[in-house]
Amino acid sequence: MCGIIGYTGSGSCAEKLLRGLDRLEYRGYDSSGISWLDEKGKIKTVKSSGRLSLLREKLGEALPKSSCGIGHTRWATHGAPSDENAHPHCTDNVSVVHNGIIENYFSLKEELIGKGYTFDSETDTEVALKLIDMYYKKEKDPLSALTSAMSRLKGSFALGVIFRGREGELYAVRVGSPLVVAFGDDGNYIASDIHAFLDKTDKYFRLEEGEIACVCPRGVRVTDRDGRERSKEILTAEFSLSAAEKGGYPHFMLKEIHEEPRIISDTARSMAELPIDKIIPWDILDGIIKEEGNIRIVACGTAMHAGLIGKYYLEKFARVSVEVSYASEFRYSDPIMHQGDVLILISQSGETADTLAALRMAKERGVFTLAVVNAVGSAIWREADRSLLTLAGPEIAVASTKAYSAQLVLMYTLAAKIARAAGRLSEEAETAICRGLSDTVPKAVEGIAARDREIKRLAEILSEQDNAFFIGRGIDRYLVTEGSLKLKEISYIHSEAYPAGELKHGTISLITEGTPVVAVITDKNVADKTISNIKEVTARGGEMIIISSDDIDIPPELSKTVFRIPSIGIKGNCEKDYSGIFIPFSAATALQLLAYHTSVLRGCDVDRPRNLAKSVTVE
């Protein structure tokens, strides 16, 4: 959701800013720009709509020599992607890059127009800029101008700012949207996330709410809204640079899918020995088991789909009922929550605005919050009562794949541990689930990833189409919801997911000769029912692609395009039939590869699909 970078030091800033923007491009990529201070201390700016390569072209071979500057890669909110709306926005005195939303931009704009300011763009950022400019003219001091402006701006924003004549000084403001400050050998950085400078340094700290940093080549000073100085602990980034590189794969998405076996195993092992009362305090858990309290899962997009799988297994193993909500709906729905409930927040980035808002709302009402996050130190990670880490490492492709698989591991583990605590699952079964997640599942997923070619053949059917449907029952219904999202976001094929039995209640009218329908059948208990629904589709000319477990009989006339998944689950002395419980992992990987190959065949930008951004820090 927009990427910010800034550098000040002894080196030249332009190449560093461009390299940082390259790494941040996953946050938004419809325009970009940089500002720097020239040898006379004047602000210079070059910006361009479109991808970063166009900015490089505009800058030409002779990059500016300046050693202090800021850069930005945009995900449009206010105003279309255009040169005018691209950041940085500048006056003679100030240049600003911004991530987030200024909610009261309209009233401020009117006030500034009344004071003689004019506006060249449609952005809320230009309003923030002119406000800072106004205070800077009055107060003649960058820090007090920023503090005054901050007290007037409403919303969630991170700013990177340079001032004319203030050589070597870079300012960073954080209200809601993430910003980090890092220390390199030849200078210091600000950025929206640590990947921007990992080739230069791994030493950094995060700005907290309402903090302003003045970053100079030799040091950093951080103050709060009231001008009080704050001391910061310097952290060491745990990610290696290789996470931010493709490692021989044509796309990050494919690389990340192939990382799933290791990630599943690492995440499962990290959870196996964790006692349940280190996850949810006993008194609250006891209330949940006695049905005095409720579990709710709140998240967005793919993370929410992982929550649906969590619901399925929490209900299956632990027999506690679970509600799953989109965070954007949950926060405005006046949800019924009581002390004694548990709110589980799932988020890869740990910064998603709606999920964070849901968390804060629950905390205000005294509800216990448990976060499942992929980014240590992110806002959701820090603010939740307890946080569990998915060990997926940085996910660069905009479409989430490996983080989803890691979220599934946590959902299964949590379900098994709660079920065990409730006495609804034997110790033997719990151990078998944990062991299966760390050993059997990774091998199975590796097996699916190795069958890339077979999946590519299925993708050839989809890639020619403009519309597709996904169907499934029970757990498969939740899997196809994610499979459909993956397909539409990276291949631009319109796609809808339906419970298989629901198709005939309206949507089947859209099935005509050749309409592709992807069916997932891993749940033996409802396989025959789904097969009947498939027959209803083929009777109307629909073209089936079936992903099914290998212990389910598919009628020969339907088996032309079947992708068979080995059935994996728990064998032996369990209280119930858990023989196929791990198939969702394999099916999820197969669906991810199906979307991936379809996108490649259609010539789409797999890692950076249009209109999207990785970390959604606006609501």
Catalytically active residues, by annotation: 2, 614
Q: Quote helix, strand, coil % in the chain, to nearest 5.
A: 40, 20, 35
In the complex, minimum distance from the CB of residue 564 to ligand F6R, in angstroms, rounded to a whole number: 26
| Position 217 contacts ligand F6R (CB under 6 A) | no
352 or 598: CB nearest ligand F6R: 352
Between strands 516-521 and 467-472, the pairing is parallel
Beta carbons within 8 Å of 286's beta carbon, 6+ residues apart: none
In the complex, minimum distance from the CB of residue 96 to ligand F6R, in angstroms, rounded to a whole number: 26
Intra-chain end-to-end CA distance of the chain, in Å: 11
91 or 352: CB nearest ligand F6R: 352
In the complex, minimum distance from the CB of residue 348 to ligand F6R, in angstroms, rounded to a whole number: 3
Pairwise CA distance, residues 173 & 176, whole Å = 10
- Write each residue from 384 to 423 as x if it is in contact with ligand F6R (CB under 6 A), else as -, in one continuous string: ---------------xx-----------------------
In the complex, minimum distance from the CB of residue 238 to ligand F6R, in angstroms, rounded to a whole number: 18
Segments in 273-401 forming alpha helices (H): 282-289, 301-313, 327-330, 353-364, 379-383
What is the signed CA dihedral for 339, 345, 351, 354, rounded to 10 degrees? -70
352 or 369: CB nearest ligand F6R: 352
In the complex, minimum distance from the CB of residue 301 to ligand F6R, in angstroms, rounded to a whole number: 2
Within residues 539-598, the interface with ligand F6R by CB under 6 A covers: none
In the complex, minimum distance from the CB of residue 259 to ligand F6R, in angstroms, rounded to a whole number: 16
User: Could you give the angle at the alpha carbon of 486 between the alpha carbons of 482 and 487, nearest 5°?
Assistant: 120
- Which residues are bridge partners to 323 per DSSP? 296
Place of tokens 């945009």: 74
66 or 352: CB nearest ligand F6R: 352
Give me the residue whose beta carbon is nearest to ligand F6R: 301
Within residues 30-89, the interface with ligand F6R by CB under 6 A covers: none
* Structure tokens belonging to residue 107: 């009233």
In the complex, minimum distance from the CB of residue 592 to ligand F6R, in angstroms, rounded to a whole number: 9
Within residues 338-357, the interface with ligand F6R by CB under 6 A covers: 347-349, 352, 355
DSSP code of 316?
I
Pairwise CA distance, residues 220 & 55, whole Å = 29
Looking at 395-531, which runs of residues are DSSP E strands? 467-472, 494-499, 516-521
Between strands 180-183 and 187-191, the pairing is antiparallel
In the complex, minimum distance from the CB of residue 195 to ligand F6R, in angstroms, rounded to a whole number: 14
Pairwise CA distance, residues 394 & 402, whole Å = 10
491 or 515: CB nearest ligand F6R: 491
170 or 490: CB nearest ligand F6R: 490
In the complex, minimum distance from the CB of residue 407 to ligand F6R, in angstroms, rounded to a whole number: 8
Within residues 481-500, the interface with ligand F6R by CB under 6 A covers: 489
Choose, by CB under 6 A, the member of 213, 616, 617, 618 that binds ligand F6R: 616
> Residues binding ligand F6R: what is the number (CB under 6 A)?
14
Phi-psi label, residue 50: left if phi above 0, alpha if psi -120 to 50, beta otherwise:
left
DSSP 34-60: EEEE-TTS-EEEEEEES-HHHHHHHH-
User: Could you give the angle at the alpha carbon of 494 between the alpha carbons of 52 and 260, nearest 5°?
Assistant: 65
Between strands 494-499 and 467-472, the pairing is parallel
- Write each residue from 277 to 316 as x if it is in contact with ligand F6R (CB under 6 A), else as -, in one continuous string: -----------------------xxxx-------------
What is the signed CA dihedral for 476, 358, 394, 125, rounded to 10 degrees? 130
311 or 420: CB nearest ligand F6R: 311
CA atoms within 13 A on the CB side of 368: 21
Rg (CA), the chain: 26
Of 106, 74, 102, nearest to 87 by C-alpha is 74
In the complex, minimum distance from the CB of residue 400 to ligand F6R, in angstroms, rounded to a whole number: 3
Of 370, 381, 394, nearest to 295 by C-alpha is 370
DSSP 3-state of 330: helix
In the complex, minimum distance from the CB of residue 396 to ligand F6R, in angstroms, rounded to a whole number: 11
* Structure tokens belonging to residue 522: 């891993």
307 or 436: CB nearest ligand F6R: 307
CA atoms within 13 A on the CB side of 343: 33
12 or 378: CB nearest ligand F6R: 378
162 or 372: CB nearest ligand F6R: 372
Place of tokens 């210091």: 188
DSSP code of 524?
G
Within residues 431-490, the interface with ligand F6R by CB under 6 A covers: 489
66 or 355: CB nearest ligand F6R: 355
Phi and psi at residue 118, in whole multiples of 5°? -115, 160
Pairwise CA distance, residues 121 & 129, whole Å = 12
Task: Provide the binding-site residues for ligand F6R, judged by CB under 6 A.
Answer: 300-303, 347-349, 352, 355, 399-400, 489, 615-616
